[in-house]
Amino acid sequence: MGDLALAVVVLSGFVVALVAPTVTRHRHNAAGWLIALLPLALTLYFVAQLPRLARGEVLTFAAPWVAELGLAFSLRADGLGVLFALLISGIGTLIVIYAGGYLHGNPFLGRFYAWLLVFMASMLGVALADNLIVLFVFWELTSLSSYILIGFEHESASARAAALQAMLVTGAGGLAMLAGLLLLGQVSGSLELSALLTQGDALRASPLYPAALLLVLLGAFSKSAQFPFHFWLPNAMQAPTPVSAYLHSATMVKAGVYLLARLNPALGGTDLWLYAVGGIGAATMLLGGYLALTQTDLKRLLAYSTVSALGTLTMLIGLGTSLALKAMVVFVLAHALYKGALFLIAGAVDHATGTRDVTQLGGLARAMPITASAAVLAALAMAGVPPLFGFIAKELIYEVGLELGVWWISAIVASALFTVFIASTIALGVFFGQTRHTPKHAHEAPSSLWLGPVVLAGLSLLIGSAPELVSAILIAPTVAAISGKPVAVKLALWHGVTPALLLSLATVLVGIGLFFARDALRRLLAPLRWSGAEQTYALALDGLNALARGQTRVLQNGYLRRYLMTIVLATVGLTGAVLLNQPIWNQLSNLPWETIWQDARFYELGLAVLIVLATIAAVVSPSRLGAVAALGVVGYSISLIFLAFGAPDLAMTQFTIESLSVLLFVLVFYHLPRFTRLSTSRARVRDAVIAALAGGLMTLFVLLAVGVQFQPSISDYFLENALPLAHGRNVVNVILVDFRGLDTLGEITVLGIAALGAYALLKLRREKIE
Amino acid sequence: MNSLILQTAVRYLLPLLLLFSVFVFGRGHNEPGGGFVGGLIAAAAYALYAIAYDTRAARQILPIEPRLLIGFGLLLALCSGMLGVANDRPFMTGQWYAFALPGWGKIELGAPLFFDAGVYLVVLGVSLTIIFALAEE
Amino acid sequence: MAAILSALLILVGTFFMLVAALGVVRFPDLYMRLHSSTKSATLGVGCVMLGAAIHFNDVGFATQALAITLFLLVTAPVAAHLLGRAAYLSGVPLWEHTLSDELRGRYDQVTHDLASTDTK
Amino acid sequence: MIITIAFGLLSAALFLAFIRLARGPSLPDRVVALDLLASLSVGWIALYAVATNQPIFLDVAIVLALISFLGTVGFAYFIAKGAVPWQQS
């Protein structure tokens, strides 16, 4: 069983989510603080586990479910898992408190908390899952909760469209990822991550590796908004700010990065991994940063910079060197802290002034001192200025860049430039400079709104100035988990004057310079907007709708004849295709044709000819009832043939069915409108061809069936056991009622349903007439 | 149709047909016949009656609503299947009870017969539901 | 003796059936065909059934054969009557050389009463 | 021997009835042909029972004799309803 506590931790979010709406209804104001107790407790639990992890222990929990399929609800918390779990529950606590203030008075706050907790629990599930399928289920749950949270203001059409877009992109990616995970499970022989990670070489060598990798990457890239799937993240800013801060910057969008980090020991190290993950990561890093330059809305600005940060993380994992992995882990933590803080500040500013447009904001420091101080700290961390933790992260990234070569370092420096520009826009632009008129008079946000940013910015400062606090117990086990082997981690604020230090100093200065030339910059870059990815998404969606409309018009056009024709043609096509590549010709030829002719009595042949003639009469007859009469003849002749081959039961049933169907035909035709226009000759030819095809196929079937010999002849079994077992001499009825009773039960149920259906339709028709 | 000759003919034919249909159903286990044919013949009898008189009259001589017949038939078929389960044998295994009837000798009654009766009722119910619905106007 | 009788009966019966079919084909109008189809076919089947009963000389099967003949004797005329009446009322013409049509003008379709004298 | 002749006659009868059904100018003619075919089938079954010495087939004949009546009555009902005024097809 392992640590039951692990399972309780993961599933507690779902339980409390059920309770959240009622709690909010009774204690509206204190709800935020009350519900925040859960994530707080989870954070403390994870912090308490850190020493055990530092010693290399791993927490596990497994509840077997379907052993044959390798399905089990199994969790595993190692360094990487706990780091993310800490991020999720820690920031979760602050977000829940923040949401209490931000959405105060909103009637749907209870539902908001419920879905926020569902998200938190499923995100914990993703971080701690050991079984691939459990990981996938939680993965899809995060997409689902993100869909509902983005579309929280369901009245606004743009929120709904953004939610749908996010859902479709991440959902489709998730589907591809499932295929990839199953392939991995197939190749490695087990669905458990712990087992899978030991099969690295087998996986890398297998022919399925490229396919599995690309499929998994599809899932990871769509979730972590990598190029070309990045467009859904800025649109997801329609969501309330706590959601943007929590899901779309700190935790959910990092699920893809987490997955890549988790699979690195198994899949990493190959050229495909380097170019796909590293390349796409670098491209997203640059694209995100570049697109952020021209944004004026505070949250979209932060969203694009998050895209760029995610690109950096993906690139670092792609590079795969132990330094790069160390840099990645440090940057994950640093980014979560400062980006989370900045988003919350953006929310507070929006809450206080009523606008998020950077060009209309300025000089808010005097009105919102605490928020301003937290903003400055967070912006400095983002820009990578010592003694903030962000500086250490950037230093490491610069060292990785320098180590790898001019191309990588120039890309990193460029994106760092963009980041500094954004940081200064937020810190300097919004809070300093001359104050401008804003829709709502700016006032200091309530305590619940500035608590989050202050804590996060404070942590950034604390860890920055004393990195050894986290390096041993948190960073080291995580890097070990990612690289698959223990790695020594020594973080320090000061490395002496190194090229990385000079570079970062220069970047900060140039970045601030860029800020002061922001208006010129925006005018220059405005025409170079690029939204190709979003257009393709829109095109794909319209194409899908058009396809659906076209297909429905063709297949469901209301004509019964058309449905019948489609069914017959499909059957003939499919079975015909299968039959044609069977050796049917020699099967047919070695049928005992001579014996068939010998014992065929002339009156049976007479009947056969009668059937053919009657069918022709039925087809040719101008009046519908004439055709019914001809069909009657066919029915009677077939019944006689049944009799001639010794099946009295069947003959009896067929005769009765024949008469009843004649009666039904008569009654139906009595109600049907007079067909003024009989079908055109072209239609009759087409119908004749279709009928001939179907008839030919059926004849082929019958002939082939005659040829098939059932080795252990079932009929002997029935013949022998009819009397002793089932006390009946009429084997046909015994089979129907006793041996194959279940089938008959099914058949009569179907009959019953069909009758009810017919009755309902007829009743409906009569009401329409009255 | 208000043809007197047909109505008198049907008044005698109906009991004959019903008797014959139960007879065909009854011996279904050993000679040709069974629930399905029996049900159809009974349905034909009632249809004939509905044509000779009208559906309202036909509904009167039928003890219960045809749709309920379907329900009863299915229920009967299911219960006869459950008999097997009652004797902790798999579902649908035939259970046979032999007992002697004074004057007729030993006869055997079994679950499959009830199942067959269920089939009889369902087939009758199905045919009549559709025929009466069609012939209603 | 019995075998010969049953064979004879079967042959006669089949012959009458053939006559019935011939009549149905050859007769000029519907109403004559009804005669041939009903009477001659029933007679044919009756004979064959009798032949079969004798052939099997078993009481049970004899009653069955008899029952079939009885059923046919009951249902065939009623069917013929219905068909003829429906055809006449829906206007199927008689043979042009028909000598007399006693029903014309005496049956009021609406009130369904049959007058004994010509009402028109 | 007798049976073969009988079947020969019967098959001929079947075809003649079919000719009327195919040619029959009006619907009632076709119904007459169908009714005749039903009776001929009863004869056919009896003949077949005798030919194969299987009296069990007579049950089928009873069913057919009773039920074929329904088909003819159904058609007559339809024609009587005036739904199909006599048409020279």
pLDDT of residue A143: 92
Q: Looking at chain D, which residue has its C-alpha nearest residue A633?
A: D34
Q: How many CB atoms sit inside 10 A of residue A155's CB?
A: 6
Rounded CA-CA distance D21/C33 in Å is 12
Interface test with B, best of D57, D67, D72 (most B CBs within 10 A): D67
pLDDT of residue A2: 65
Q: Looking at chain D, which residue has its C-alpha nearest residue B38?
A: D63
State whether residue D66 sits within 8 Å of chain A by CB. no
Helices (H), A433-559: 447-465, 468-470, 476-483, 499-516, 518-525, 532-555
pLDDT of residue A678: 64
Mean pLDDT of D57-81: 88
Rounded CA-CA distance A673/A666 in Å is 13
Question: Strand, helix or coil at B106?
Answer: strand
What is the separation of C-alpha C50 from the centre of its chain, rounded to a whole number of angstroms? 18
Rounded CA-CA distance A528/D14 in Å is 88
> What are A750's strand-pairing partners?
none
Q: Which of D12, D17, D82 faces C24 most closely, judged by CB atoms?
A: D17
**Chain A residues in contact with D70 (beta carbon < 8 A):** 659-660, 662-663
Give the model confidence (pLDDT) of B83-113 as tens digits: 888 887 777 777 777 777 777 777 777 788 8
pLDDT of residue C119: 58
State whether residue C79 sits within 8 Å of chain B by CB. no
Q: Which of C13, C48, C90 faces D79 most closely, judged by CB atoms?
A: C90
**Chain C residues in contact with B1 (beta carbon < 8 A):** 82
Contact call for residues D66 and D54 (beta carbons, < 8 A): no
State whether residue B38 sits within 8 Å of chain D by CB. no
Q: Is there a contact between A748 and B125 if contact means CB atoms under 8 Å apart?
A: no
Task: Give the minimum alpha-carbon distance from A730 to chain B in angstroms, rounded to a whole number.
Answer: 4
Interface test with D, best of C5, C40, C48 (most D CBs within 10 A): C48
Beta strand spans in B3-135 (E):
96-101, 105-110
Is residue C120 pLDDT above 70, yes or no? Answer: no
Amino acid at D45: I
Is the preceding omega at residue A228 within 30 degrees of 0, hence cis? yes
Q: Could you tell me the domains of chain A?
A: 558-713 (1.20.120)
**Chain D residues in contact with B12 (beta carbon < 8 A):** none
List, in order, residues 6 or more apart from A542 with CB less than 8 Å away.
none
pLDDT of residue A368: 83
Pick from A279, A259, A260: which is nearest to A268 by CA?
A260
State whether residue B30 sits within 8 Å of chain D by CB. no
pLDDT of residue D85: 42
Q: Which of D18, D27, D71 faces A623 most closely, judged by CB atoms?
A: D27
Give the model confidence (pLDDT) of B9-40 as tens digits: 999 999 999 999 998 888 877 788 888 999 99
**Long-range Cβ pairs for the range A521-527 (8 Å, 24+):** A521/A293, A522/A293, A522/A294, A522/A296, A525/A290, A525/A293, A525/A294, A526/A294
pLDDT of residue A216: 92
Strands A71-77 vs B96-101: parallel, antiparallel or unpaired: unpaired
Neighbours of chain D (3+ CB pairs under 8 A): A, B, C
pLDDT of residue A710: 65
Interface test with A, best of D9, D47, D63, D77 (most A CBs within 10 A): D63
Q: Is there a contact between B1 and D77 if contact means CB atoms under 8 Å apart?
A: yes
First to last CA, chain D: 43
Q: Which of B3, B9, B12 faces C85 most closely, judged by CB atoms?
A: B3
Neighbours of chain C (3+ CB pairs under 8 A): B, D
Q: Looking at chain B, which residue has its C-alpha nearest residue A740?
A: B92
pLDDT of residue B124: 94
pLDDT of residue A54: 80
Inter-chain contacts counted by CB atoms under 8 A, chains A and D: 110
Buried b (16+ CB within 10 A) or exposed e, A103-129: bbebeebbbbbbbbbbbbbbbbbbbbb
Neighbours of chain A (3+ CB pairs under 8 A): B, D
Q: Which of A656, A733, A737 faces B41 most closely, judged by CB atoms?
A: A656
Residue with tokens 């579902």: B91
Q: Is there a contact between B130 and A664 if contact means CB atoms under 8 Å apart?
A: yes
Q: Which of B2, B3, B9 faces C74 most closely, judged by CB atoms?
A: B9
* Contact call for C and A: 3+ CB–CB distances under 8 Å: no
Task: Give the minimum alpha-carbon distance from C58 to chain B in angstroms, rounded to a whole number.
Answer: 17
Is residue D84 pLDDT above 80, yes or no? Answer: no
Give φ, ψ of A2 to 5 degrees: 80, -160
Q: Could you tell me the domains of chain C?
A: 2-95 (1.10.287)
Task: Give the minimum alpha-carbon distance from B6 to chain C in angstroms, rounded to a whole number.
Answer: 6
Please state, in angstroms and as integers, the Cα–Cα distance from residue A417 to each residue in A288, A396, A507, A520, B15, following that order. Answer: 12, 16, 6, 17, 99
DSSP 8-state code for residue A208: T
DSSP 8-state code for residue D50: H
Q: Is there a contact between B24 and A652 if contact means CB atoms under 8 Å apart?
A: yes
Task: Give the minimum alpha-carbon distance from D16 to chain C in angstroms, rounded to a whole number.
Answer: 6
Inter-chain contacts counted by CB atoms under 8 A, chains A and B: 139
Neighbours of chain B (3+ CB pairs under 8 A): A, C, D
Task: Give the minimum alpha-carbon distance from B79 to chain D in angstroms, rounded to a whole number.
Answer: 30
pLDDT of residue B44: 93
Rounded CA-CA distance A539/A349 in Å is 36
pLDDT of residue A675: 60
Surface-to-core class of residue B93, CB atoms within 10 Å of its CB (0-12 exposed, 13-18 middle, 19+ buried): middle
pLDDT of residue A174: 93
Pick from A84, A109, A97: which is nearest to A25 by CA?
A109
pLDDT of residue D88: 36
Would you tell me which residues 585-624 of chain A have a C-beta closer than 8 angstroms to some C-beta of chain D?
A: 601-603, 606-607, 610, 613-614, 617, 622-623
Contact call for residues A406 and A414 (beta carbons, < 8 A): no
Pick from B45, B6, C89: which is nearest to D81 by CA?
C89
Segments of chain A with pLDDT less than 50: none
* Contact call for D and C: 3+ CB–CB distances under 8 Å: yes
Mean pLDDT of D69-86: 76
Angle between helices B35-52 and D58-80 (to 10 degrees): 30
Pick from A362, A339, A170: which is nearest to A249 by CA?
A339
pLDDT of residue D86: 41
Mean pLDDT of C25-37: 90
Interface test with C, best of B2, B5, B27 (most C CBs within 10 A): B5
